[in-house]
Amino acid sequence: MLDRRRLCLALLSGAAILSMPLKSRAQPAYNDRQKAFRLDGGGVTYAFGINTKGQLETLHWGGRLGDGDTLGPVTARGDHSSFDLAISVSPLEYSGFGGGMVIEPGLKVACPDGSRDVVLTYLSHSLEGSTISVRLKDIARNIYVDLRYIMDADTGILSRSAVVENRTDDWIDVQHFAAAILNLPVNDDYRLHYLTGRWAAEWTLQERPLEAGSTVLESRRGSTGHQNNPWIAISRADTDEEDGPVWFGALGWSGSWRITVDKDAVGGVHVVAGYNPFDFDYRLAPGETLESPTFYAGYSDHGMGGASRLMHRFQRNHILPGHPAPKIRPVLYNSWEATTFAVDARGQMALAEKAASLGIERFVMDDGWFGGRNSDKAGLGDWWVNPQKFPKGLKPLISKVRSLGMEFGLWVEPEMVNADSDLYRAHPDWIINFRDRPRTEGRNQMVLNLARPDVRDHLLGVLDSLLRDHDISFLKWDYNRNWSEPGWPDVAPDQQPKLYVEYIRNLYGLLAELRRRHPHVEIESCAGGGGRVDMGIMALTDQVWPSDNTDPYDRLTMQEGFSHAYAPAVMMAWVTDSPNWVNQRSTSLAYRFLSSMQGGLGIGANLNHWDKSDFATAKRLIAEYKTIRKTVQHGNLYRLISPRNGSNRSVTLSVSADKSQAVLFAFVHSSTKLDALPAITLRGLDPRKIYSIRVIEGGFDPRTPPTASGAYWMTHGLSVPQKGDFQGSLFGFEVQI
Ligand code: GLA
């Protein structure tokens, strides 16, 4: 059985924040005279106060203020007009739907008497260690909201969450519940940045002016989703990659979510993030509470690049398993594109031998090893080893892989079931469904109702024995469809919508419990590519699979988009065969390697088709990767030339935290008309130190000095002549002692 207490601890990603060491959290302050709360961390001050109506109002979110600056007391605003009452044009820290609220509120509830009016005012607060907790209460009913604020002293990233409590003597239905509302200063030139996509095309960075009205980013799918990712950034018109203000944030939740950016009638900008209110209706009995996920909000003066570097650092230091020093990603081999479902002991052993000769550290057998899984039509749910493919079980393969000096990893998709499976035949009631309604399939599969305790316990049992009985170091945890018919027929109708929350809580609990029982096992979050990447799942998984699209050129823009929100420390990228299945584009093996070396490197090609020179190239580049990967995965990332918007080039630079190593990737799409490519100027080096340059792939202008100061590389720069189509170059810079 899954320990309920432990599960609760792990259920929301806020748990990661609570484990933040006290010394790395900013010390909050409350000034009673000013009625103002203040948090300072990194280059950021966040302040809010209690206004004369008893509402919580944002006072400042932006660059760091002076220590003695006065922030309050705040006189509550008046109505703008009889149409736009004060409540809808004030920068409230948290609001209820009530009292004339017409923009996105934090909370909306329905009561048994039909009332749907909540007006929240300040009741009390506490400053415990580094946490500010503020208790709000409805003006008439015993409905309470506790807001929680914790700031990271280093990055200034603020973790915000809320708990709603029903202390009335009857039920309430929570129809809308946000983690936080964040208010930006009034400006008329904001630009909104967000990430969109679809299967095999995730991580497209969108940018548009923030106009009056609402912009809604969301998933109604039961999971994070490919189409929108729960991350946003808002910049000013003249903000660029390295300069200017950026407000940004991401929601740590792997279920249906919504982020609304409202520009109110007088130009105030409010970001509201939390559970998706669509179809939500979470019933709270008297005495019950509902906790929101955590919204992580940050600010940078250093452009989009500065914003993402803060996010990467925060994720490494406070979110990822093993924080503040998450493990470096090993180089892996994955069988999927090579063998699809046609896995067997002999074939995998042959691949493993070849993989080991390249310097691969982890061999992962993908889909096809279990049940009757010969295609995507059968077998999901039956997590027993297929006896035709593996007559002696998995142990001989695992021993072989281990004897070759590699770890062994396995693909699983625990939350799903094919109709053609023993599990479904035995438990047709275990899936998410509405009674007597069709059960829509996607990829021939249905979603198990993980909110059910029996399903949760079954999955824990199956996965626990798989890990107990085998020497497995890694699970690729897949999830290949969205929900349909989101019903839970075995509970009362008014309890059914709880599926949206309970499913994800049990998913987090399951992952946390498996990690506790098998601390050496690492997990990858995959959902048909990048359908489940968010700061909730990242607290429980060591790496993510950004996309099934492994075309190395498509990946440049996708990886760039990804890097705006999430750390290269978790971003896996594979070298696969050419021409690539996505675009039929042919690229050199070196180009494919360089594209994949921008993250955690994997090989997914069919090694049986490689010739001697392919093996030599791969072996060399894998060895090189091992010398630069710490900087690539954990360094500071500078996006020097973006591949977006038809750009002919893509250049990124990663600089190690101590500035002793830098790694420069330079790609060109096509050279034309003997055009000269402008020199690349580096960033983030120590200007006074001397750095040597080393060619890992490609070449530079022969007049380039072998060593030069950081100042030289950052001002004079480096010329990289690249001729042809899909060319890549890679250079390492090392400080000379
Ligand atoms: C999903 C994953 C792939 C692969 C297949 C296996 O599409 O994203 O990497 O594991 O499932 O069926």
Instruction: Tell me the pLDDT tens digit for each residue of 715-724.
Output: 999 999 999 9
222 secondary structure, DSSP code: S
In a domain, 162, yes or no: no
Q: Give DSSP secondary structure letters for 238-263.
A: T--SSSB-EEEEEEE-SSSEEEEEEE
Measured in Å, residue 598 CA sits from the centre of ligand 1 at: 21
Residue nearest to atom 4 of ligand 1 (CA): 336
In a domain, 375, yes or no: yes
Whether 376 sits among the annotated catalytic residues: the reply is no
Place of tokens 């630079």: 653
Among candidate residues 262, 367, 542, 548, the one labeled active-site is: 548
Three-state secondary structure call for residue 202: coil
Q: Which of 634, 659, 679 is the last residue of a domain?
A: 634
> What pLDDT is stored for residue 682 in this prediction?
98
Are residues 578 and 554 both part of a single domain? Answer: yes
pLDDT surpassing 80 at residue 18: no
Are residues 629 and 648 both part of a single domain? Answer: no
Kindly state the average pLDDT of the residues 44-57: 98
Measured in Å, residue 179 CA sits from the centre of ligand 1 at: 32
pLDDT surpassing 90 at residue 9: no
pLDDT surpassing 70 at residue 123: yes
Which residue from 246, 200, 189 is spatially nearest to 227, judged by alpha carbons? 200
In a domain, 649, yes or no: yes
> What pLDDT is stored for residue 407 in this prediction?
98
pLDDT surpassing 70 at residue 729: yes
> What pLDDT is stored for residue 577 in this prediction?
97
Instruction: Tell me the pLDDT tens digit for each residue of 371-398.
Output: 999 999 999 999 999 999 999 999 999 9
pLDDT classification of 21: cutoffs 50, 70, 90: low
> What pLDDT is stored for residue 367 in this prediction?
98
pLDDT classification of 13: cutoffs 50, 70, 90: very low
Are residues 536 and 665 both part of a single domain? Answer: no
In a domain, 630, yes or no: yes
In a domain, 201, yes or no: no
Are residues 606 and 658 both part of a single domain? Answer: no
Kindly state the average pLDDT of the residues 402-429: 98
CA Rg, the chain, in Å? 26
pLDDT classification of 14: cutoffs 50, 70, 90: very low
Are residues 496 and 552 both part of a single domain? Answer: yes
Instruction: Tell me the pLDDT tens digit for each residue of 441-461.
Output: 999 999 999 999 999 999 999
Kindly state the average pLDDT of the residues 212-238: 97
Are residues 369 and 457 both part of a single domain? Answer: yes
Assess contact for 26 and 41: CB atoms under 8 A: yes
Measured in Å, residue 527 CA sits from the centre of ligand 1 at: 8
pLDDT surpassing 90 at residue 130: no
Assess contact for 663 and 695: CB atoms under 8 A: no
Task: Give the residue, 9 or 397, on which the prediction is more confident.
Answer: 397
Are residues 464 and 370 both part of a single domain? Answer: yes
Are residues 563 and 603 both part of a single domain? Answer: yes
pLDDT classification of 129: cutoffs 50, 70, 90: confident
Q: Which of 582, 602, 634 is the last residue of a domain?
A: 634
Kindly state the average pLDDT of the residues 401-425: 98
Residue nearest to atom 9 of ligand 1 (CA): 548
Among candidate residues 478, 534, 542, 551, the one labeled active-site is: 478
Percent of the chain beyond pLDDT 90?
Answer: 95
> What pLDDT is stored for residue 8 in this prediction?
43
Q: Which of 575, 609, 634 is the last residue of a domain?
A: 634
pLDDT classification of 2: cutoffs 50, 70, 90: very low
Ligand 1 closest atom vs CA 411: 10
What residues flank ligand 1, with Cβ below 6 Å? 336, 366-367, 411, 478, 480, 526, 528-529, 545, 548
Are residues 570 and 716 both part of a single domain? Answer: no
List helix spans (H) across 281-419: 303-314, 336-339, 345-358, 395-403
Whether 67 sits among the annotated catalytic residues: the reply is no
Range of the domain at 717: 640-735
Instruction: Tell me the pLDDT tens digit for each residue of 655-683.
Output: 999 999 999 999 999 999 999 999 999 99
pLDDT surpassing 80 at residue 88: yes
Three-state secondary structure call for residue 636: strand
> What pLDDT is stored for residue 19 in this prediction?
56
| Averaged pLDDT score across all residues of the chain | 96
In a domain, 538, yes or no: yes
pLDDT surpassing 60 at residue 608: yes
Measured in Å, residue 14 CA sits from the centre of ligand 1 at: 29
Please give the model's pTM, rounded to 2 decimal places: 0.97
CATH number, domain of 514, equals 3.20.20.70
Q: How many structural domains compose the chain?
A: 2
How far apart are the C-alpha atoms of 348 and 385, rounded to whole Å?
14
- Residue 451 burial (10 A CB sphere; 0-12, 13-18, 19+): buried
CATH number, domain of 712, equals 2.60.40.1180
Are residues 645 and 504 both part of a single domain? Answer: no
pLDDT classification of 20: cutoffs 50, 70, 90: low
Residue from 226, 334, 366 whose mutation best tests the ligand 1 pocket (most atoms within 8 A of CB):
366
pLDDT surpassing 50 at residue 370: yes
How far apart are the C-alpha atoms of 586 and 463, rounded to whole Å?
40
Kindly state the average pLDDT of the residues 148-170: 98
Ligand 1 closest atom vs CA 476: 10
> What pLDDT is stored for residue 168 in this prediction?
98
Are residues 437 and 344 both part of a single domain? Answer: yes
Kindly state the average pLDDT of the residues 324-330: 98
Measured in Å, residue 475 CA sits from the centre of ligand 1 at: 13
Instruction: Tell me the pLDDT tens digit for each residue of 314-325.
Output: 999 999 999 999
In a domain, 273, yes or no: no
In a domain, 449, yes or no: yes
Are residues 669 and 564 both part of a single domain? Answer: no
Measured CA distances, 345 to 339, 342, 354, 385, 397 (Å): 12, 10, 14, 11, 6
